[in-house]
A and B are shown apart, each in its own frame.
Chain A
Amino acid sequence: MDISGADLITMARYLAAGLCMGIGAIGPAIGQGMAASHALDGMARQPEMENSLLRTMIVGQAITESTGIYSLVVAIILVFVAG
């Protein structure tokens, strides 16, 4: 079986999508973990603040997540749309 240029492009697309999602997930994961850990610290110290801490933590994590979502969108475009 011969490998043509189109196959190489397909291979590069899948490879790039995997790298994009894998590396792109590192940052948001660390950020979300840090947000959760500090929110837990705060909750342990001041249990009466739990409600507002939880809400702020979820919003903060959602914003942290947007970089991960960008890499997901790029990966989806690479796999499904590009080429």
Chain B
Amino acid sequence: MQLAVWTYEGPPHVGAMRVATGMENVHYVLHAPQGDTYADLLFTMIERRDQRPPVTYTTFQARDLGSDTATLFQAAARDAYARFEPQAMLVGASCTAELIQDDPAGLAEAMGLPIPVVPLELPSYQRKENWGASETFYQLVRQLADQSVTPSAKEGRRPAANLLGPTALGFRHRDDVLEIERLLEKLGIDVNIVAPMGATPADIAQIGAADFNILLYPEIGDEAARWLERTFKQPVVRTVPIGVGATRDFIAEVAEIADVDPAPAMAEDGSRMPWWSRSIDSTYLTGKRVFIFGDATHAVAAARVAHEELGFKVCGLGCYNREFAREVRAAAKLYDVEPLITDDHLAVEEAIAEAQPELVLGTQMERHIAKRLGVPCAVISAPVHVQDFPARHSPQMGFEGANVLFDSWVHPLVMGLEEHLLTMFRDDFEFSDEAGASHLGPGHAAPPAASNDEAPAATGEAAAIAWAEDAERELKKIPFFVRGKARRNTELFASEQGRATIDLETLYDAKAHYAR
């Protein structure tokens, strides 16, 4: 048993729902008790969808157990087919129905519905949401793809690609797809289908008509992409175009596979991020410590952008989905940090507090952690929140996506000039540390002296070191948002040097030692 307060991922059938809800003309009959219908509100409230997810829940009750839950399933499937007339049906069980072993697959097959029925085996007690989405998409593609469909002769037509991975309830999937379609248009490449999002089962049947696949979200599309690679010999573009550098790599990879000229897309229309980052007002971003946590794909991409394109220092990197831990471990090596692979948000909170970052890039969960620690934060990954569905176009991918990253990561920080002003005015009687930083909004008072941020490092010998009164007074003159780091560094320095007391001398020696 695992003790969980908050979870990064839902159960695997929610992943299946994300696939079904993203598609058109598919219906999902889910063997499940009442209460599992809560999942509908994820789509109607968080994503503000104007239609119910295409899911029928059998809603069995205690009194049905052992008698006619199987009949209930068949009646629900029959009614759903009659009412919604889908082109294909997904059938499966939620966690409870998995235990009563009614075999939705066999029951549905016995009904002889005149449409393809795709049975889903999603082990709820082992797997989670992303895996469920991936498995569902893979099963759909495997069963619905018409293997006789292949690309037409190359002469006289533009190359065509499938975009794989976007679903309902995805982090900015809606906007990313638009951005990538624009890029492909500039390269003279057609989109055969986008799937699962927006695709019908009939579209999936035509998936083989594309020359290659573009895998936007490996967590969801990798399994299907690998099957397509084997079955249709479609090469896969695996670079995820988040950030300027990755977008350029992506364009190069696409151009090579499609045999087109990359130049029209490389022209970077609308890409302001490189200049914004070079502009002298961004100098203060140099070496800012950033802690990154999310799904593996977004976390790894964010680390590259933070390191190469904003000049941050990556001080922590991790993901909650073990399936992609290898990618995160490899990236962590690049930035010389210990990879954090966990789905326990308390462990993440500890790691963040320990790392004392100046910016957190994470999920909604890390946003709350950062709020408590008084550290600025930007959201880079699912699990999603209603705020992650902005009304405006706000992609993460492509050149416009890089612009969005610059704005959304840099704006939460205290700005460079603001830092100087705070230093200038720190002795002003009207200036109070307790007022906190205005950009964090009300309720974000600076942490009181006893909080995490400023408490002496409680680990190892550092805790035994005493602060002389004058050094303590001097420390108070440092702006609150760097004071915690200054204290920690000084204590570390003192313990390395074997000094028992921190006096003014030690404080400034440490400052010189850590000068960057």
Do A and B pair up? The answer is no
